[in-house]
Structure 1
Amino acid sequence: MARGCAFLGSDTAILCGAMSWVSERNLVAAMSNSGGFGVIACGAMTPELLDAEIAGTKALTSKPFGVNLITMHPDLFALIGVCEKHGVGHVVLAGGIPPKGSIDAIKAFGAQVIVFAPTLALAKKQFRGGADALVIEGSEAGGHIGPISTSVLAQEFLPELAAEHVVFVAGGIGRGDMIAAYLEMGAAGVQMGTAFACASESIAHPDFKKAFFRAKARDAETSVQIDARLPVIPVRALKNKGTEEFAAKQREVALLLDQGSVDMGEAQLQIEHYWAGALRRAVVDGDIENGSLMAGQSVGMVTAEEPVADIIARLMRESEAALTRR
C-alpha cells in the first residue's frame, strides 16, 4: 500500500467511497482519523453548503481528506473554487468525463485529481490530460455503476496502468483478503463504501442500517432503464418501493423530453435530483420503503454497527494474514 498511502497522505490506502448524505463530516473525519482516507460526497450541494461541510470536517480532523464532485453539476467550477479556498488536497471527479478545464482548474491550486474511467482507452486519455490517480469501479459496487465486474476491470486495467500510475480498485470489496489480491495485482489501494455506510460514526438512520444488516448480496439489485432515449446510469440499491418509483420517474422525464419541455442535460439532472431526494429519505429520515437504499453486493458482509477504526483494523489484519499465507 506504500504508493497509495504516499499519494493520499494516510496510514492505509483505503478510501471511503463518497456516498451522498452518508459521507458527510462525521464519517469523513472518522475515516481520516482512523488511518483511512475520507471523501466528502458533494452530490447536489450548492457551493455554500460544500463550503460549510468542508469547514465542519476540518474542525473534526487535521488529517487529509478529499472532496467528490459530480462532473455534471451546473456549478462545478464554483465548487472547485470552494475546494481551492479550503486548500483541499484531493478532488475526485465522478459521474462522467470531466468537462474541459476542470482538471486544470483543480491542479492549478496544487490538488491531486482522482478520476473514474469505464474503459482502458479513456483511462489513458485522462492520465494524459492531467489526472493523478484512477479508481476502477466494478458493477458490484453500490450507487451509480458501469456494466463490467471489478475482477474483469482489474485484469484489464492493472497490468496496463499500475506500473506507472496510482490505481485504486472498488466494487464488491468486503474483506481484507480481497484487498490483498488487488494489491498483489498492482493496485495502490482500494475504495470501499458499503463497508463503512453503517459504521458507528455514520449519521445514517438506525432503520437504514438495519436494512443493510438484514440484506444479502442478491438483494442489492441494479435499476432498470425504461426508455432507450433517456440514458440513465444504472444504480445498485436494495430493492424496495423506491426502486419502482424510479421507473415511474423515468417515464415522467421521458414524457417531458417528448414534449420538448426539457433537453437531455436537464433530463439527466432531474434524474440526479431524484436520487438525491430518495437517498435523503432513506439515510436521514429512515424511510426505507420509499427512499433509496444504495448498497453494493458486499452488503451481505455488513452485519453489525462498528467504529470505523475497528473496521479498518480488521481489514488490515485480514489483508496481512492473506499476504502472509502466500
Structure 2
Amino acid sequence: MKTRICDLLKIEYPIVQGGMAWVAEHHLAAAVSEAGGLGIIAAGNAPADVVRDEIRKAKALTNKPFGVNIMLLSPHAAEVAEVVVEEKVSVVTTGAGNPESYIPMWKEAGIVVIPVVASVALAKRMEKYGADAVVAEGCEAGGHIGELTTMALIPQIVDAVEIPVIAAGGIGDGRGLAAVFMLGAEAGQIGTRFVVSHESIVHDNYKKRIISSKDIDSAVTGRSTGHPVRSIRNNMTRNYQKLEQEGKSFEELELLTLGSLKKAVVDGDIINGSVMAGQIAGLISKEQSCKDIIKEVVSEAEELIKNFHF
C-alpha cells in the first residue's frame, strides 16, 4: 500500500497521526513513526523550549521521520516555526491560522509542509504558496472542526489541487482508510483511535470514556463563536451549550473552557474537562499498541480493496 504520501514522507504506510494538543507528545509520535506511520508532536500553546525538548525526546526514541503540528494562533508560533528548522524536523503540519509567511523558511530547510484545511479555497491557496500536501479534515473529527463532512470535502479538494491529499475525520479502521482512498485521498490521518493506544499518555479515565462511547455521544460547542469544537458529551459541554443558547459573550464562554483539555487529559476529569474525540469514538472498543492499530487498519484496508467487487 504505497502512495505519493509514503514517498513524500518516507514512511511505510499511508497513515498520519493527528496533531492533538496535550495528547500528541513524544511517546505517541515516536511509537507511530516506529510502527511505519508518521507520528506528530502537537506544539499547541507550548513555549519553544518545551517543543524543542519534545522533538529531542522523540529523536531518542526513533530514527524514523516524524512531524510537528504548529497551532498558528499560539503566542509562541513564530519561535516554534524556527525551532523546527533548527532541530531539522522532517515534516510540519499547521492549523488554526495561515502558514504562508513561514513556508519559504521551512521549504528552504527541506521541511515537508502540510497545512490542515477545511475548505477547497484554503487548499488551493496552500498549494499556491508551496505546500507539499494538505490534510483535508471533515467535521467528524475531534477537537476544532470545520463545517463540511469528510465524504463531501475530500473529493472536492482532490479535484481542486495537484498535491497529495491526506483525509482526516471519521477514520477509525480499515474501512475508513479504504473509503478515503476511493474518494481520492492518498493517506488517512487518525486521531481518536491513537488517543486510546498503549503509548498515549492521556489519563485512563479519558481512554475508558472513548472506549465506552456510543455513536451519538459527541457534541459540538462553540458554533456561536465561530470556533466549533467536537468533544464527548459531559457536564462541560451541556453548560457551554446552555450559555450559548442564552447568548453569553465569547469571554464568558472561554472562561468555562479555560484549561479544560488539560483537566481531562492530565487529571482525568471527564465530567468538567474537555474530552475531545471524533464521531468515530463509538467504533473504538479496545486499547492497543500503535503498531497493532496500524497493522490492523492497513491489513483490513488492503483486504477490502483487493476483494472489492460489484
Q: Give TM-score, length-normalised by structure 2.
A: 0.92
Pick the aligned partner of 1:168 from 162, 166, 169. 166
Distance in structure 1 (CA, Å) of the matches to 2:264 and 2:251: 25
Q: Report the counterpart of residue 273 of structure 2 in structure 1.
A: 291
The answer to whether the Cα contact below 8 Å between 1:142 and 1:294 also exists between their aligned partners in 2 is yes
Secondary structure of 1:11 counterpart: coil
User: Are 1:237 and 2:231 an aligned pair?
Assistant: yes
Runs of 5+ unmatched residues, structure 1 = 256-269
Aligned pair count reads 304
- Determine what percentage of the aligned residue pairs are the same residue: 38
Q: Cα gap change, 1:175/1:213 in structure 2, threshold over 3 Å: closer, same or farther?
A: same
Q: CA deviation at 1:103?
A: 1.4
Q: CA deviation at 1:85?
A: 1.3
Q: Report the counterpart of residue 119 of structure 1 in structure 2.
A: 119
Deviations 1:4-40 (A, max 9, x none): 1111111111000011111111111110001111000
The answer to whether the Cα contact below 8 Å between 2:143 and 2:230 also exists between their aligned partners in 1 is yes
Secondary structure of 1:114 counterpart: strand
Distance in structure 2 (CA, Å) of the matches to 1:62 and 1:199: 21
Deviations 1:84-105 (A, max 9, x none): 111001111111322x512122
Q: Cα gap change, 1:291/1:254 in structure 2, threshold over 3 Å: closer, same or farther?
A: closer
Distance in structure 1 (CA, Å) of the matches to 2:280 and 2:122: 27
User: Are 1:50 and 2:51 an aligned pair?
Assistant: yes
Q: Report the counterpart of residue 303 of structure 1 in structure 2.
A: 285
The answer to whether the Cα contact below 8 Å between 1:44 and 1:276 also exists between their aligned partners in 2 is no
The answer to whether the Cα contact below 8 Å between 1:23 and 1:40 also exists between their aligned partners in 2 is yes
Q: Report the counterpart of residue 225 of structure 1 in structure 2.
A: 223
The answer to whether the Cα contact below 8 Å between 1:43 and 1:276 also exists between their aligned partners in 2 is no
Q: CA deviation at 1:225?
A: 3.4
The answer to whether the Cα contact below 8 Å between 1:206 and 1:286 also exists between their aligned partners in 2 is yes
What amino acid is aligned across from residue 123 of structure 1 in structure 2?
A
After superposition, residues 162-241 of structure 1 pair within 5 angstroms as 164-226=162-224, 231-241=225-235
Q: Report the counterpart of residue 90 of structure 2 in structure 1.
A: 89
Deviations 1:43-69 (A, max 9, x none): 010011111111111111111000000
Secondary structure of 1:294 counterpart: coil
Pick the aligned partner of 1:316 from 298, 303, 308. 298
Secondary structure of 2:216 counterpart: helix
What amino acid is aligned across from residue 210 of structure 1 in structure 2?
K
Secondary structure of 1:27 counterpart: helix
Q: CA deviation at 1:118?
A: 2.5
